[in-house]
């Protein structure tokens, strides 16, 4: 189980009556007009303490927290599929790369496969970072199971083994057997932050009014940023918080 540190209170929330506040990086952080209702109430996160954080984190499993590629390589005895010649969104479908049908790809993947996937290299660091910024109680896994027997149960077992304090939600088509992304946008809203390696999931989620971070990976649009993804996520979270600070400073209080 990942160790979860307590809230980082290095940034204390101002309680004085003044509306003039400073925050690091403000001068270099562009502040754009927010869409109505978005962000403004959402970011009193874990590092500020308290229970008034309204931002909920929806954290994808496969390709972000769980090493699905590694599991598929083992079960099909295949080499690493994302060499320099096969990167980007066209590389998403391993059925094309490995020249097999979806049935052939997923049929061997039962309970033991899903429960036994290894964590990605950054899984613990990512989880702990999100806990520090948003609070562990505001994180939920959101994953799309395939319809092979044991997948849902195996994913539950995986979470229970590695992150038992965090609940799991499933999103899937009720009819399709193998869907690369379930309808995660049904959970979108101004205070919902999806972290996912599927660019279509992220686009639909943002189109439905949520905020999304496309986790850079060799198989999506942000593949060239794969090596820097933790840094990029932390940078985005910092920008969100700076914006929140600025919005508060500009609010005229009675």
Q: Which stretches of the chain bind Mg ion, using CB under 5 A?
A: 60, 62-63, 197
- Tokens standing for residue 166: 């965090």
β-bridge mates for residue 196, sequence order: 214
Nearer to Mg ion by C-beta: 75 or 246? 75
User: At closest approach, how far in Å is the CB of 237 from Mg ion?
Assistant: 20
Nearer to Mg ion by C-beta: 46 or 182? 182
Nearer to Mg ion by C-beta: 48 or 114? 114
Which position has the token pair 């972290």?
195
Nearer to Mg ion by C-beta: 46 or 63? 63
SS3 154: helix
User: At closest approach, how far in Å is the CB of 103 from Mg ion?
Assistant: 20
User: At closest approach, how far in Å is the CB of 59 from Mg ion?
Assistant: 10
Measured at CB, which residue is nearest to Mg ion?
63
User: At closest approach, how far in Å is the CB of 99 from Mg ion?
Assistant: 22
- Cβ atoms within 10 Å of 169's Cβ, excluding its own: 12
Nearer to Mg ion by C-beta: 47 or 62? 62
User: At closest approach, how far in Å is the CB of 196 from Mg ion?
Assistant: 6
β-bridge mates for residue 211, sequence order: 193
User: At closest approach, how far in Å is the CB of 221 from Mg ion?
Assistant: 14
CB 39 within 8 A of CB 31: no
State the DSSP string of 36-65. Answer: TTSSTTT---GGG-SS----EEEE--BTTT
Nearer to Mg ion by C-beta: 45 or 217? 217
Which position has the token pair 């794969």?
226
Q: How far apart are CA 100 and CA 39, in angstroms?
A: 44
Q: How far apart are CA 23 and CA 241, in angstroms?
A: 10
Rg of the chain taking only CA atoms, in angstroms: 20
């Amino acid at each position: 189980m990942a160790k979860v540190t307590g809230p980082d209170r290095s940034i204390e929330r101002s309680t004085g009556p003044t509306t003039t506040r400073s925050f690091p990086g403000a001068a270099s952080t562009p502040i754009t007009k927010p869409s109505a209702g978005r962000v403004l109430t959402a970011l009193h996160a874990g590092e500020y303490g308290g229970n008034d954080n309204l931002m909920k984190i929806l954290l994808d499993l496969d390709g972000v927290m769980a090493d699905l590629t590694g599991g598929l390589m083992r079960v099909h005895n295949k080499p690493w599929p994302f060499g320099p010649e096969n990167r980007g969104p066209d590389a998403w479908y391993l059925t094309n790369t490995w020249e097999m049908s979806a049935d052939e790809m997923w049929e061997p993947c039962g309970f033991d496969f899903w429960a036994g996937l290894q964590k990605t290299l950054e899984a613990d660091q990512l989880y702990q970072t999100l806990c520090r910024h948003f609070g562990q109680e505001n994180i939920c896994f959101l994953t799309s199971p395939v319809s092979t027997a044991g997948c849902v149960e195996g994913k539950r077992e995986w979470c229970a083994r590695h992150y038992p304090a965090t609940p799991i939600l499933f999103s899937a088509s009720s009819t399709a057997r193998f869907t690369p992304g379930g309808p995660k946008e049904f959970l979108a809203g101004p205070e919902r932050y999806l972290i996912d390696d599927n660019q279509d999931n992220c686009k639909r989620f943002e189109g439905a009014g949520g905020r999304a971070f496309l986790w850079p990976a060799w198989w999506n649009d942000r593949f060239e940023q794969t090596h820097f993804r933790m840094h990029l996520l932390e940078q985005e979270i910092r920008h969100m918080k700076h914006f929140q600070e600025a919005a508060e400073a500009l609010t005229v209080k009675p």
